[in-house]
Amino acid sequence: MARKKQPEKPRSTGHTDAYIAGAGVVEEEKITETLEKNYMPYAMSVIVSRALPEIDGFKPSHRKLLYTMYKMNLLTGGLTKSANVVGQTMRLNPHGDAAIYETMVRLARGNEALLHPYVQSKGNFGKAYSRDMAYAASRYTEVKLEPICHELFRDIDKDTVDFVPNYDNTMQEPVLFPTTFPTILVNANVGIAVSMASSVCPFNLTEVCETAIACIKNPEHDIISTLKGPDFPGGGFLYYDEEELQKIYNTGRGSVRVRSKWTFHKADRCLEITEIPYSTTVEAIMDKVVDCIKQGKLREVSYIRDETGLDGLKIAIDLKRDADPEKVMQKLFRMTPLQDSYSCNFNILVGGVPKVMGVREILEEWTAFRMECVRRRLFFDLQKKKDKLHLLLGLEKILLDIDKAIRIVRETEEEADVVPNLMIGFGIDEVQAEYVAEIKLRHLNREYILKQTRETDQLKAEIAEIEDILKDPKKIQKIIISELKETAKKYGQPRKTRFYYASDVEEEQEDEDIPDYPVNLFLSESGYFKKIIPASLRMNSEQKLKEDDRMVCHLETNNRIELLFFTSQQQVYKTRASEFAETKASAMGDYVPAKLGFAEGEIVVQMIATEDYSGDLLFIFANGKVARVPLSAYATKTNRKKLQKAYSNKSPLVQVLQLPKIDAPAHVLMRSDGKRAVLFDAALVSLKTTRDTQGVQAMTLKSKQLVKEARLLGDEEAEELKKYRVRSIPAAGGMAKDLPEVGQMSLI
């Protein structure tokens, strides 16, 4: 229930302030009702009037700007200052000048964001492929409309589209443009609304026009036979995946993969990138390459620089002497935005309703829209011709007796009676009489009248032709097809984005991406990991640790080694040494739980290293049991990062021991908190195939006693501690009061 609190009536203070009824009322309202009343109108406005393109290919901001430029005669006139256009556009677009100018920048040829720009530009308009290259202020740049805009505004003044008042009702603006080709598919359009978004990739204009014509002639036309694939203004190479393209064409959703164009100069061992994917920037690519170099993933690259200039985009990458440019590029494609994906989401407003459509449905909607535009244009022309014919028919009647017309005008005493008298005298209507009355005296001769009425037969033929066209949709379609052919011939251009195929992609092993060099791996008790190269370790071997922390594992291996981190929650996280950045002994290193995304409260129990998942693991539990599991049980065909049920949860895990691969005795020492120890050969523990096996009892414990330590011993140390050796398990072991505790665990 809503709760209301009526305000107290203010006391008289001598002022004349009136008491406002209901002021200060506090009401309780459901949040859903508040959202519906206050947020939903905004959300709908963003969807319908801002973020999503309509079937003519434009958002309202684009349309208002271009129409303003059209009304400023910038389609045929000369260049004007951008600031002038921005100021005029404010009559239609009630936003700040910055937002309007940014819209203009994206539509301009200089920015290179569109396959077919709509604004001819002079000055610095930045670049779509650069994040940091700023465009000049509007007072320094100049613009006019590109010739292709003739196709946007053709016959716009012939009632081809609806017009609505602007925001202050001082002028009219078009709801849509009567575009003669499907601009919605020719230029890229991206928008983010509330709860939905749109991302339309660009296609080649010639291919789009050919496809539109083919679909008009045959609704079952195979679209992919004429519409080869997206064509991005930045060029590059698109991976031709026919199945994915068919999905995009049919559903309006999917993604395409684009990679950069590159050349290699052998003389200076330099890779030059001259075209990049539309969805990235030069700066994003360079940042990622530099990051990979710092992580040691691109040791073949010695330097990278941006050489973009007046000649266009260029990224130079210097390679080291022995680097294979082909393999380096394959690595760059996999690890950097030099190869990137463009996600398609053809969400378009049709009749004010957002709709995700495939290419065929988009072309059908555009064709229906264009047919209505042509029909309205024909009606407009028909009416004009009928009006003119009507006037000429009245003029013909004057031809019968010019002298009578002159006499009627001369003998009429009042000017207001001229038109009525002509109507009576010649049997014509008011419009015809008004037209005759306005003819100049010098034109009231037989030659002028014959010359004017000579058009009558031609007008009658044209009217009959237009009426015939209006009755037959097929003839309207022929007009649309002829306009599409004309547009393709006049403005079509070769594809900028070429294709590459599956046969062009080299299959390489993943290991080739990982440099192979010696490293020292360290793991602390609290879970800090360090990867240190030998040279750095020789310079400083003193390890920095948190207070009360200690190193529990040290392994000398290589950068390609695979690592398994067993945790306190019976899980194992798989990664590689190469995934960790190199560090120094004086640094804290990477915190493994954070690096690998452990669950809350989950800690590292042990780290195991392997190259081929050969050998076995021994799991020592606090209840005295030991489980032997092959390392191959943790190998997976897929690139899984986490495995559950890595070991048994019946008793706390004390230690994980990696047995030597050679067929030699493996001496296992276990010690309990009851001051007893047992030494046995690992061969006494039978191998189990399941990871979470409970194992076998290896050490017999008294009530409330637990195993507290386990480790592998070398032959010499095992010989020294032979008094604890047993030949069968389980065993209680011997008293071990003087046996020193382990200081560091070894994985070797």
- Asked if 66 and 59 touch (Cβ cutoff 8 Å), the reply is no
Angle at 95 between CA 93 and CA 97, to 5 degrees: 100
| Active-site position among 39, 42, 140, 303 | 140
DSSP symbol at 47? I
Q: Is 239 a catalytic residue?
A: no
Token duo for residue 15: 């002022």
Residue 227 has, within 13 A of its CA and on its CB side, a CA count of 28
**Which residues in 128-144 are b (16+ Cβ under 10 Å) and which e?**
bbbeebebeebeebbbb
Q: Which amino acid is at 507?
A: E
* Beta strand extents in 220-323 (DSSP E only): 237-239, 253-259, 261-265, 270-275, 301-306, 315-319
Residue 168: in which H helix or E strand, if any? none
Q: Say which residues have a Cβ less than 8 Å from residue 223's Cβ, sequence separation at least 6.
A: 211, 215, 249, 359, 360
Token duo for residue 487: 């547009």
Token duo for residue 741: 């505790």
- Asked if 488 and 211 touch (Cβ cutoff 8 Å), the reply is no
57 phi-psi bin (left φ>0, alpha ψ -120 to 50, beta other) = left
Token duo for residue 655: 């230690």
106: nearest Cα among 119, 91, 93, 88: 119
State how far the alpha carbon of 715 is from the alpha carbons of 179, 250, 344, 481, 720, in Å: 87, 70, 65, 90, 9
In whole angstroms, give the CA distance from residue 176 to residue 161: 6
DSSP per-residue letters across 644-713: E--S--SS-EEEEEEPPSSSS--EEEEEETTSEEEEEEGGGSPB-SSTT---EE-B---TT--EEEEEEE
- Asked if 601 and 589 touch (Cβ cutoff 8 Å), the reply is no
In whole angstroms, give the CA distance from residue 208 to residue 605: 61
Q: Say which residues have a Cβ less than 8 Å from residue 38's Cβ, sequence separation at least 6.
A: none
**Chain mean position to CA 290:** 23
Residue 578 has, within 13 A of its CA and on its CB side, a CA count of 20
In whole angstroms, give the CA distance from residue 516 to residue 514: 6
State how far the alpha carbon of 413 is from the alpha carbons of 401, 409, 416, 417, 472, in Å: 21, 9, 9, 8, 53
Residue 142: in which H helix or E strand, if any? strand 142-145
**Which residues in 506-536 are b (16+ Cβ under 10 Å) and which e?**
eeeeeeebbeeeebbbbbbbbbbbbbbbeeb
Give residue for tokens 């690096």: 595
**Looking at the annotation, which residues are catalytic?**
140
